[in-house]
Structure 1
Amino acid sequence: MMVSPEMLVVEEGFNVRGVGMSKEEYWQQEHVQEHVNNLAQAYEAGDYVPPIVVKFRESDQKAVVRDGHHRLAALKTLLEREVPIQFVNVIEYKGDEAKQQLLMLKSSNSLQLSAVEKAEIFHRLHAYGFNPDEIAAQVGNSVQHVYQMLRIYDLPLEKKRLIQQKKLSVNSALAETSTRQKKFSPPKKAVKEVLELLSAKAEIHGDVVKAEIPLELWQKLLNPESLNQESEVNENQIGLELESETVS
């Protein structure tokens, strides 16, 4: 199918390219500019360029790019130079939003996605309701890999930017972010006191059990600071467990 280049538009926020970076910063990268220039040369020479994958918008029948943002950038470069490009080859894609994300992930006609960009797609699939097992089956990776991608998505924006700039490795970013997380168990004595209190004074109202628990006892159960203080003086309490998350 052939359409005029003026028919091609992008959907703001759809393209995962340059996640963690500004648009200008992404498109000014040397390898990106080289890729766009090569595509522009191919278009101008009449060489084969894979069709841009689009989804036609019902409101105005514009061709919204789903795969081929670099190709569109190349076309815009040629049009700015007043190179005559009357029509461009496109393919209409009719899959749902989740399948459109998978298209970006699996496309063999584009620059390889970075780990941060892949992580964005994995997160979107997860947000669409796919669990890690289902995502793994769809993308052909292990469940462990899916969890790794979701962890990358959760990295601070600055670390994502450094990864995109190739100034920080993914493993280093994950290792730096995997701080020791505090976990605690209630003191045995406090648990025993609560159980005794519930046995003696609890009131049952339908499906609800009500009981008054002294504030001090409640703090011993749920307040980490109170628990930390108690654990220093009472050897019968479990205290704090520190756990370090390992990087796979």
Structure 2
Amino acid sequence: METLKTANNANVTSKFSNTTGSGKVISTLKQFRDVNLGLCQSAPDFNAFLIDPTIVAITPGFNTREMGMGEEYYLLPEVAEHIHNIKMAYINGDYVEPIKVVIVDGVVTVRQGHCRLHAAREAVSEGHQITFLCNQLKMDEVDAEMQTLNGNKGMALSPVAIGASYLRLINTLGGMTLESLAIRENRQVSSIRQMMRLPGLPVELKKYIHSGVVSYFFVLELVDSLGESKAIEHIRTQLEVLQASADRGIKVPRSSNGALRVRPSTIKSPRVPPTLATQAVESIKMLNEQFFPQLKDVDFTTFDSDKEITISISLKTLNMLQTVRDTISEVAAKQLRKEERKRLKVQDESEPESDDQQEHDQTAA
């Protein structure tokens, strides 16, 4: 038995009948229409059914677009704008494609078109009379999920939502393997595996991916190298740096929707200075020249892994190693100073605005 909810989370059967005249549980939209004429009617001109959007139930967590956020997903700026545009289309009488529904225990339940359903409910709650259409899915859950993946006529699926659909197809609905899904989706198996990791990420990282702030593969790279908390911290810091640059009129990377874009270059290791690289190579050469001749007669197969070996080293080689060590310390210190300057720039960008606000408050007082 699925958990269902209507617009006001009330008992889903309180406004309509979910059984036929003979007492059987309704299984088709036609049967539902016949016993609920005030709520559902045929719409032959659209090859669909007219239905009251407030009685269409939602299965919590079913919509993979929600990324595990539930109703909070529909409050995201880009999603809220999308829903508003659909709502205005309903209010203006424009044609909006029917949602796809199934009948669960006699209850009409949305499967595709959650944003359209939210938009229609908003329009109705504002007192508008709208034409809300639906059609019953005539396919199994696997084919319906694949249609969701490949349909994308409205807001495009985010990588997180795609990953959630992949998980459902393989782990929940069954009947598909990684290999068969990869073939059907024209992706590498490794790509399928990576995307299946996305739904398990913290909500903040999923929001960044959804909004186009950062690519999903870079997020996974950050998580693998830094951990989830540090990955979030890194992206936040880079967004602050980018915003500060943008505020100064500097051109910064942006995604196709205009959002600031954090790129993989922000985590690349600093370039090794030529001087340090040369010193490191020379020191390794000197070590090889001194160590291996001393070890040529040693049978390492008779040694335990924790066995200690005594070797000698020249003062010249020791001095070279100390020089390399000092150079590494200098490079690391320089990199730290560079990062500190970046951080201070971000603070400098925000401080004048804060000071101006304080002056405004003092004047107003």
Both proteins in one fold, TM over 0.5: yes
User: Is this contact kept in 2: 1:102–1:139, CA < 8 A?
Assistant: no
SS in 2 for 1:90: strand
**1:70 equivalent in alignment to 2:115:** yes
Using the TM superposition, give the Cα deviation of residue 164 of structure 1 relative to its aligned residue in structure 2, in angstroms. 3.4
* Map of 1:119 onto structure 2: 163
User: Is this contact kept in 1: 2:60–2:70, CA < 8 A?
Assistant: no
Partner residue of 2:218 out of 172, 178, 193 = 172
Partner residue of 2:146 out of 99, 102, 123 = 102
CA distance in 1 between counterparts of 2:199 and 2:223 reads 12
CA distance in 1 between counterparts of 2:136 and 2:125 reads 26
User: Is this contact kept in 2: 1:155–1:177, CA < 8 A?
Assistant: no
Aligned length: 182
Write out aligned runs for 1:127-166 (5 A): 127=171, 128-155=174-201, 158-166=204-212
Q: Give the TM-score normalised by the residue count of structure 1.
A: 0.64
Instruction: Mark the CA change 1:161 to 1:133 in structure 2 (over 3 Å): closer, same or farther.
Output: same
Structure with greater strand share of residues:
1
User: Is this contact kept in 2: 1:105–1:113, CA < 8 A?
Assistant: yes
**1:233 equivalent in alignment to 2:233:** no
User: Is this contact kept in 1: 2:56–2:109, CA < 8 A?
Assistant: yes
Q: Which runs of 5+ in 2 are unaligned?
A: 1-47, 227-303, 310-365
Instruction: Mark the CA change 1:231 to 1:95 in structure 2 (over 3 Å): closer, same or farther.
Output: farther
Deviations 1:18-77 (Å, cap 9, x if unpaired)? 3153522x22222212211111111122211111111122x22x2211111111011011
SS in 1 for 2:138: coil
CA distance in 1 between counterparts of 2:134 and 2:91 reads 17
Deviations 1:158-194 (Å, cap 9, x if unpaired)? 53344335444312221123359xxxxxxxxxxxxxx
Aligned-pair identity in percent equals: 29
Opposite residue 175 of structure 1, the aligned amino acid is E
* Map of 1:21 onto structure 2: 69
Instruction: Mark the CA change 1:155 to 1:129 in structure 2 (over 3 Å): closer, same or farther.
Output: farther
CA distance in 2 between counterparts of 1:160 and 1:81 reads 32
CA distance in 2 between counterparts of 1:147 and 1:99 reads 20
Structure with greater helix share of residues:
2
SS in 1 for 2:66: coil
Using the TM superposition, give the Cα deviation of residue 81 of structure 1 relative to its aligned residue in structure 2, in angstroms. 0.4
CA distance in 1 between counterparts of 2:207 and 2:187 reads 25
Deviations 1:186-232 (Å, cap 9, x if unpaired)? xxxxxxxxxxxxxxxxxxxxxxxxxxxxxxxxxxxxxxxxxxxx633
CA distance in 2 between counterparts of 1:129 and 1:179 reads 34
Instruction: Mark the CA change 1:123 to 1:231 in structure 2 (over 3 Å): closer, same or farther.
Output: farther
Q: Which runs of 5+ in 1 are unaligned?
A: 181-229, 236-248
Instruction: Mark the CA change 1:172 to 1:67 in structure 2 (over 3 Å): closer, same or farther.
Output: same
Instruction: Mark the CA change 1:35 to 1:154 in structure 2 (over 3 Å): closer, same or farther.
Output: closer
User: Is this contact kept in 2: 1:17–1:117, CA < 8 A?
Assistant: yes
SS in 1 for 2:139: coil
Structure (1 or 2) with the larger CA radius of gyration: 2
Opposite residue 75 of structure 2, the aligned amino acid is Q
Q: Which one has more relative contact order, counting CA pairs under 8 Å at least 6 apart?
A: 1
* Map of 1:56 onto structure 2: 103
CA distance in 2 between counterparts of 1:234 and 1:18 reads 58
Instruction: Mark the CA change 1:75 to 1:11 in structure 2 (over 3 Å): closer, same or farther.
Output: same
Instruction: Mark the CA change 1:160 to 1:35 in structure 2 (over 3 Å): closer, same or farther.
Output: closer
Partner residue of 2:124 out of 73, 79, 102 = 79
Using the TM superposition, give the Cα deviation of residue 132 of structure 1 relative to its aligned residue in structure 2, in angstroms. 1.3
Q: Give the TM-score normalised by the residue count of structure 2.
A: 0.45
CA distance in 2 between counterparts of 1:169 and 1:120 reads 16
Write out aligned runs for 1:191-230 (5 A): none
User: Is this contact kept in 2: 1:50–1:109, CA < 8 A?
Assistant: no
CA distance in 1 between counterparts of 2:184 and 2:78 reads 29
